Amino acid sequence: MNKAIISLLLLLPNGIGALSTPSATTTTSSRDSRRNKILKGIDASQFRHPLDRDLTNFFSKAPLSNVATSAIQRSLSIVEQGVRLDLLSSSVKVSPNQMPELHESIQEAASILDMGVVPSFTPQANAYTLALQNQDKNKPAIVVVTSALLDRCSDEEVQAIIGHELGHLKCSHSLYLTLGGLASTPLRALPLVGSQADKLLQEWRLAAEYSCDRAALLVSQDVSVVAGAMLKLFAGTSRATNTEAFIDQSREYEQLLKDANPLVKASIRRQQRTHPLPVKRVGELEKWFESDEYKAIVGGYN
């Protein structure tokens, strides 16, 4: 793999500071003593959630998918130009000379997932990525995470969050989810079929998040680190530090849901969400961590 290339931008809103020196110093030494396995040659299909994998394969092989893919890529590149200019005008660019510990962390995460050209990285109010890999090293794709999380999380937890966003890029989610949405548009006007198409797309979006939680775990290779990052993300405070209690909470939720009234279950299923329920994400991640699939991936590298 060519040396990963990252252009990292840090957007610091008023009232939010940069990474604190004590946090960086404490956790960097921990990471130096525990080098994670580099997953050379890993393909996104190896860690995709089953629904994400099946629908991606289906739409990538659909008639005229190549034509549609090219059109989507051109459209997203225009959007990306605007985002890049906006971020460059109001952000601090992270580099080997600016917040080098954070820059190194992204380089390492990208190396673990075997990514060549790695995204610009910008913390601000919310986490997102255009989720489309750009092979032009002079215009890397863009990833944004919350500035508050940089202050709230340890370096390992921040790297897990980065791993999640890199997962979107590795899986080209913007491309395939847009392709799926376009392909299903004619179906939405049809009775019954339209609602089923919308439901499937919603489930696909949630499955894509599970895929990226798996990418975060592959980067961290420690389920407690990823769960800890999720805990601080969902709690909104660094005071929530008991990861095991949070994992127990996810188990409690699963048991209560299993015994819940059918009307309650149906109400929960009907909720429209852009991301899975926090406790569901932790529960799914723990199951995958214990699975033969995960062990085969990580165990196959020295």
- Active-site residues: which are they? 165
Identify residue 272 by its one-letter amino acid code.
Answer: Q
Distance CA 101, CA 109 (A): 12
CA–CA gap between residue 216 and residue 210 (Å, rounded):
10
Longest dimension (CA), the chain: 59
CB burial of 106-135 (b: ≥16 within 10 Å; e: otherwise) equals bbbbbbbbebebbbbbbbbeebbbbbbbbe
Q: Using CA atoms, how far apart are residues 55 and 37, in angstroms rounded to an integer?
A: 29
Indicate the pairing of strand 142-146 with strand 8-10.
Answer: unpaired
- φ and ψ at residue 122, rounded to 5 degrees: -135, 110
Class of residue 66 by CB neighbours under 10 A (exposed 0-12, middle 13-18, buried 19+): exposed
